[in-house]
Amino acid sequence: MLFLAHRKEILQQALTTYQGILRDNNFGELWVDGLVPSSYEYVFASIQTINYRLNSLDLSPEYFDYIVIDECHHLTANSYRGIINYFKPKILLGLTATPERMDGGDIQEDFHNRIAAEIRLPEALNRKLLCPFQYFGITDSIDLSNVGWERGRYISSELTNVYTANDRRVGEIAAALGKYTKDSTDVRAIGFCVSMEHAKFMAEKFSMAGYKSDYLTSENTQNRDKVKSQLLKKEINYLFVVDIFNEGVDIPEIDTVLFLRPTESLTIFLQQLGRGLRLADEKDCLTVLDFVGNSRPEYNFENKFRALIGKTSTTVHNEIEDNFPHLPLGCSIVLERKAKEIILANIKTATGFNRNQIVLKIRHFKHQTHLPFNLKNFLTLNNLPIQAIYKRGSWRRLCQEAGIIENFVQINEREIVTAISKKWLSTNATSYFKFILKLAHDNFKINLEKLNEEEKAMLVMLHYDVWQKQGGFDSLEDSIEAIGKNKIMVEEIIEVLEILIDNIDFKEIDIQLPYMQPLKVHSRYTRDQILAAFDFSTFKHKSSSREGVAFNLELNTELLFINLIKSEENFSPTTMYDDYAINDTLFHWQSQNSAGPETSKGLSYINHLKTKKKILLFVREKGKDEHDNTMGYVFVGEGNLKEHYGAKPMNIKWELNEPLPHYLWKDAAKLSVG
C-alpha cells in the first residue's frame, strides 16, 4: 500500500488514523523529509519524495496493489503525472473535499470517470459529520468595484493596497468580532488574507489593539508547528494566513473563520471554510465572518451560497430573500442589510446577462484564462448555469456572433435548440443521454435492424424531443437522420450532452415490467418523453394526462404524474391534490375528484394487483425549476396499493418497490401533514 500526500502533516495524520483503526501502532512507515522506510509494504510518502526518487526506484509499476492519493484535485498538476503514469495499482483511490478543479481540469479521467462515494457539505452537516456554522455576511466599507481584474480574479497587489491603506477596516473587523462572537478575546480564529503584506498588517494591527495575534505565510513556514501550538493553547487567538491552512492541516479546535478578502474560487472557499468545520469537544458551532463590500460585476456570490444551501429547486436569489429556509440542520446565515443588498444585486447581474453581454464574454474569454475555449470552460469561468446560454439561443450561434467561429447554415438549428432548452435541460437520464450521444457521434445515421426494442423506443422519444410533431417524415430513420444535416449543431449536441452526463450524480435503476420500455427508475424525464416511451401518441393523449394520469389499455398500465408543490397559478381547484411521501417507500396520493371506491376508476386502483394493472409513479417538485424551465418528472417506479380511504377524491398509499432517491426525498417528505 502507498499513501501519497503533499505535506508531512497530512501523512502523519493519515498514518495515525490507520494505526488507530487497525489497532496496530507498528503499522506503516513515513517516507518524507529524509525519513526512509525499512520496508515498502505500507508506505506514507510525500509526492515530492516519490518524484525525486522515481527514476531510481527499484520498484516495479505493479509493486503497490493499492494507492491512495490525498487531496487528489491536484492530480492534473505536473508533479503528480509522473507517479500516476508509472504505477499501475489494482486499486487507485483519490480523496478530496473539493473535486472541482480550480483550472477546470478533469480529475475523473484517472478513475475511469467513476466516483466511488460522495458526500457534499450540506449532507455532511445534516449527518453531523461536521460542525454546524453560523455565517454572518458583514457590510465592508471597502469598495472593490474599481480594483483590477485579470484571469478570473482580483489583482492581488491592488487588493493589498486597499486593505492596508488605513486602519478603519481593522476597527470594523474588531467591532464585528465583538458583536458576533461570545468573547472576541477567547477564540481560536483563522483570518484568510490576500497577501503576505496583508496578513502581516492584520497581525500587527490586531496586536496593537490588544488581541493576541500572529501571522503565517510561505515566508515563515518554519514557525508552523509553533503557531499551531500557540493557537491550540490560546496563547494567540488570531492567526492571519495566506494560502496556508487551505487544506490538509487539521486543527479541529478552530471555532472562528474570518474571510478578509473575496475568494473567487469555490474550491478555495470550501477548503478555507472546512478548516473550521471539524468536530471538537466543547465546540458547539463555527462562527464565520465574511466581509462583503461593493464588488466587480465579474465576482459571483451565487456558487458560494449554493454550496452552503445544497440542492434545492429554489433559486439562490430567493433563498437569500427568504432568509435561507433550506440550510443544513443547526446552521444559519445572517446578512447585514447593506451586505444583503450587494449580494442580491450581484447575483441579479451575474444571472441576468443579456445576449450582447454573453457575446462579449465569449469574445473576451481568451483574455481571462489559459483554458481551452469550449462551452464547459466558459460556463465554469463565468459561474453560469447552462440554462443561461439556452435562454438566448444556440451556443454555436453566440460564438459566431462573437467572431469565434465562421457563420454556418441555420438548417434545423431552431428545432435542435428547442430540444436542448425545452427537453434535455429538463431531463436527467444517463442511459437516454448516452444513447443520443452515441447517435450524435455517428452523425445520427441509424440502422433500425441493429437496434433493440428499447433503443427503438428511445428513437421515438428523440423524434418528439426535436420535431415536436408526428408528421413531415416518411419514416423514423428519416426523422432521426435529419438531425444530422447540420454538422455544427451536431457538435453542439455532443458538447451539451457531455456536460449533462457529467452533472448526473445518481445511479439509475432498471425496472422489471411485463413489457419493454426504455425509462429507468430515479431518472428524470419530460412528460412527452414519458408518454412516447409508453407508446402514447404525444398529441392524441395530451387531454388524457391533463389531470395527472394516463392509461394505456394495451399495456394495462396507468401513469401517475404527481406535482408535490401546487399553486392556484398553475392548477385549477380540481387538480389541487394532496401528495407527499410518508417515508421513503410509502407515498400518499390523492386521486382525481371523480374517483371513489365504488366507481370504476376507484375499483381499478383497489383491484390493480388482481387485474395485474401496473401503477407507475412520476414525481416532480413543482411545475417550474429555478431557471423558469418546465421541470421533468422523476420516475420513482412501481407502486402497489397499501391502503385507501375517502371518496371523490380517494386517498391512496402506494408502496414503492424502490426507495425514493435522496435528491427528491427532502421535497417529497416535507409536504407531509402531521
Strand 549-552 with 557-563, pairing: antiparallel
Q: What is the pLDDT of residue 540?
A: 37
Here the contacts of 396-403 (C-beta below 8 Å, separation 24 or greater) are 396/488, 396/489, 396/491, 396/492, 398/355, 398/358, 398/359, 398/362, 399/362, 401/359, 402/359, 402/360, 402/362, 402/363, 403/363
Is 515 domain-assigned?
no
Q: What is the pLDDT of residue 538?
A: 42
Cell of 354: 443579456
Q: Are 420 and 390 in contact (CB under 8 A)?
A: yes
Same domain for 136 and 86 = no
- Cis bond upstream, residue 649 (ω within 30): yes
Residue 278 CB contacts under 8 Å (≥ 6 apart), including other chains: 130, 131, 250, 251, 252, 254
Last residue of a domain, one of 118, 153, 176: 118
Identify the weakest region by mean pLDDT among 69-73, 124-128, 305-309, 335-339: 69-73
Is 146 domain-assigned?
yes
Identify the weakest region by mean pLDDT among 75-84, 198-207, 217-226, 568-577: 568-577
- Please report the sign of the dihedral spanned by the C-alpha atoms of residue 98, residue 103, residue 106, residue 107: negative
Dihedral Cα 489, 495, 500, 501, nearest 10 deg: 120
Is 447 domain-assigned?
yes
Same domain for 537 and 491 = no
CATH of the domain at 55: 3.40.50.300
Same domain for 132 and 100 = no
- The phi and psi torsions of 286 (rounded to 5 degrees) equal -100, 135
Q: Is the pLDDT of residue 471 over 80?
A: no
Same domain for 462 and 575 = no
Q: Is the pLDDT of residue 222 over 80?
A: no
Last residue of a domain, one of 321, 351, 381: 351
Residue 259 CA to residue 274 CA, distance in Å, equals 12
List the domain range (segments joined by +) for residue 44: 2-118
- Number of structural domains (the chain) is 4
Residue 653 CA to residue 642 CA, distance in Å, equals 5
Number of H helices, E strands in the chain: 24, 22
Q: What is the pLDDT of residue 545?
A: 43
Q: What is the pLDDT of residue 348?
A: 79
Q: What is the pLDDT of residue 577?
A: 56
Confidence category of residue 250, pLDDT binned at 50, 70, 90: low
Residue range 473-497, pLDDT digits in tens: 888 999 999 999 999 999 999 999 9
pTM listed for this prediction: 0.65
Q: Is the pLDDT of residue 571 over 70?
A: no
Q: What is the mean pLDDT of the chain?
A: 88
Nearest residue to 444 via CA among 411, 483, 414, 487: 483
Same domain for 335 and 380 = no
623-659 CB burial, b ≥16 within 10 A, e <16 = ebbbbebebbbbbbbbbebeebeeeebbbbbbebeee
Same domain for 465 and 363 = yes
Residue 260 CA to residue 576 CA, distance in Å, equals 49
Confidence category of residue 106, pLDDT binned at 50, 70, 90: low
Confidence category of residue 314, pLDDT binned at 50, 70, 90: confident
Same domain for 107 and 144 = no
